[in-house]
Structure 1
Amino acid sequence: MASENVVNEAMHSAPESVQAPIGHESAFPAFDAAQFPSHLFWLAISFGILYFLMVRVIVPRLGGILEDRRDRIAGDLGEAERLREETDAAVEAYETELAEARKKAHAIAQERREQIKADNDARRRKAEEDLSGKIAAAESQIADIKAKALGEVETIATDAAEAVLETIQAVSVERSEVESAVRTVKE
């Protein structure tokens, strides 16, 4: 109750110009039909200012942000494409150099094989020549030994035949007859 007394005193102590006439209660100013034109005027002013701010300040800033983002994305895509092309070029250069290196390695290996083959052929020819010389010398020695042996075979055969005749038959035959018989058998 004390609070009602305070409110009543405040209402009675207020000046009359602020108080509503007796019997009429004051309406909320926004719903007062007499003030609609004033409200519409300020609504139009506020909307115009807001529209002006949107068109001149906020939308261009947002457009700039979107365009910057679009440019950055396009730049990033361009950079990615450039890097992809560089990578493709580097891979192609690498593969080309690798193919050239393989060709060079193959050529070097082939050259080395041919060189080794030529060296081996030269050594083989030299060995064959040495062996041919040794074989010829050996054949010559064998021929000399054979000729000498054959030359001595007649003498040995004659001596043996003479010894056999003397031992078995106890006959003494002339050496010239034995030599002639050995020559006849030899031919």
Structure 2
Amino acid sequence: MSTTLHTAEGYEMNPLIPFLPEVIMGAVFFGILIFLVAKFVVPNFEKAYADRTAAIEGGIEEAQAAQKEAQAALEKYNAQLAEARHEAARIREEAKEQGAQIVVELRAQAKEEAERITATAHAQVEAERSQVLAQLKAEVGTIATELAGRIVGEALDDEARQRRTVERFIAELEESSH
């Protein structure tokens, strides 16, 4: 048996060499297939690619816009935070100044109160001193009158004389103590 094929016309066919009408028909169908793919499929792919590219670029632009908004919001927040810190520092400084002023006022009030208490105490001591001195003068006068009456041997019942004698005696005591 031989491995060659015979055609109806009597030609021998080699199985490794393609049949020419089949090659031509394959090339025509391939050309039609390429034309159909180029006419209908490729534009749809390109449209889908363009849509996807536009969507991606739009997403990137939206992301950039969102990032810019976020950056602006962050800067605004930082500015507000800095302003709040400055305001807090100003309030603290005012509070310190008011505290210092209150301390000064309280010290002044305390000093005034101490001076008032001291003045009242001095006045009270002076009043008590004057009262005690008056009582002492009266007692010393009475004792001095009695002693003088005993020494002189006569009664010093006359009030004017008694007062002059007491005043003279007290004046002499004051002069001798200075």
Equivalent residue in structure 2 for 1:52, among 15, 30, 35: 35
Going from structure 1 to structure 2, the CA distance change for 1:120 and 1:184 (only over 3 Å counts) comes to closer
Is the deviation greater in 119-128 or in 49-58? 119-128
Q: Give the 3-state SS of the residue equivalent to 2:124 in structure 1.
A: helix
Post-superposition CA distance 1:100-144 (Å, at most 9, x none):
223333333443454455455445434543443343233123223
Partner of 1:37: 20
Partner of 1:125: 108
Going from structure 1 to structure 2, the CA distance change for 1:67 and 1:183 (only over 3 Å counts) comes to closer
Percent of aligned positions that are identical: 26
Separation (CA, whole Å) in 2 of partners of 1:159 and 1:186: 21
Post-superposition CA distance 1:24-73 (Å, at most 9, x none):
x866xxx957x933222212211110111222222222222222222211
Unaligned runs of 5+ in 2: 153-164
Higher Cα Rg, which structure = 1
Paired residues, number: 154
Separation (CA, whole Å) in 2 of partners of 1:180 and 1:141: 25
Unaligned runs of 5+ in 1: 1-24, 167-171
Tell me if the contact between 1:162 and 1:178 (Cα under 8 Å) persists in the aligned partners.
Answer: no
Partner of 2:78: 95
State the TM-score, normalized to the length of structure 2: 0.61
Partner of 1:9: none
Is the deviation greater in 69-78 or in 117-126? 117-126
Partner of 1:141: 124
Partner of 1:186: 177
State the TM-score, normalized to the length of structure 1: 0.59
Separation (CA, whole Å) in 2 of partners of 1:113 and 1:37: 107
Per-residue deviation, 1:155: 5.5
